Amino acid sequence: MKIQERTGAGNNRSAAPVQPGVGERLPAPPRERKPALAALAVLLILVGALGATVLVLRAGDRIEVVKVTRDIQAGEAVEEGVNITGVMVAADDSINYVKWEQRGVLSRLKAKSAIPRGAVAVGEMFAKQPALPAGKASVGLSLKEGQYPSDLKAGDTVSAFPVVSSTSTGKGTSGSGSTSGTPLVAAAKVNTITDKSDATVSTGNQSITLLVPQEEVAALASAASEGKVVVARVSPDNN
């Protein structure tokens, strides 16, 4: 009788859920796999690695070329140690760089037009015989000391004045002459000038070449043939 009562009492109890023991984890729901996103991530990693490799390779593909360190006027040549130096740039087949090892050939050419300081030289800037600007002519002058500014340099703008002989009527002695107030050439560009290392500079003589308007060539050439020309530097605004 007692056994039956116990059994019956047990049948009346409600079934309670079994709790997991200490240290046991509940089963996680299965993750949804996304193979497309995984493939995209791998592709982005590969592209990034390839880009970095290309940048490294390009950074090492550099060449040494000629860079202008001092203004070069039209008709002037480059001089190593004077107006050029070497500089490293990224190689580019679309640009006709003058490579540093070609500077010897470049020294035998002339600048077609003025090249500013800091420019990287390219082949199109030079030629064997540069063309004169339209309406201009090149006139050479041989000047003595006192007929030109001591610090005259290529690229300066100058005026050329004739030297007029003067004679003293009182004693009949002739003076050394004076300059006329009317210039032969109001504004001319100094194209070339004797290098300071030339031996003739020590005597005070200086040879220069001026770019002048064609209509003013005759008067300047005539005075120059007699050594009766004085040049004075003027503002470029007069050009």
Q: Around Cβ 223, how many Cβ atoms within 10 Å? A: 20
Cα–Cα dist 117/238, whole Å:
23
- Domain boundaries, given as residue ranges, for the chain: 62-127, 136-238
pTM as predicted: 0.48
pLDDT tens track for 55-93:
655 555 889 999 999 888 777 788 888 889 999 998 888
pLDDT band at 170 (very low <50, low <70, confident <90, very high): very low
pLDDT of res. 1: 47
Task: Give the domain 62-127 fold.
Answer: Type Iii Antifreeze Protein Isoform Hplc 12 (3.90.1210)
Mean pLDDT computed over every residue of the chain: 77
Could you read off the pLDDT of 86-121 as tens digits, one per residue?
999 988 888 999 999 988 888 888 888 888 999 999
- Name the one residue in this structure whose structure tokens are 């800091």: 118
Question: Please, which residues have CB within 8 angstroms of residue 214's CB and are 6 or more apart in sequence?
Answer: 135, 136, 137
Give the C-alpha separation, 37 to 151, whole Å.
74
pLDDT digits (tens, 9 = 90+) for 188-234: 988 888 765 554 445 678 889 898 998 999 999 999 888 899 999 99
Distance, in Å, from the CA atom of 111 to the CA atom of 132, rounded to the nearest integer, reads 11
**pLDDT number for residue 235:** 83
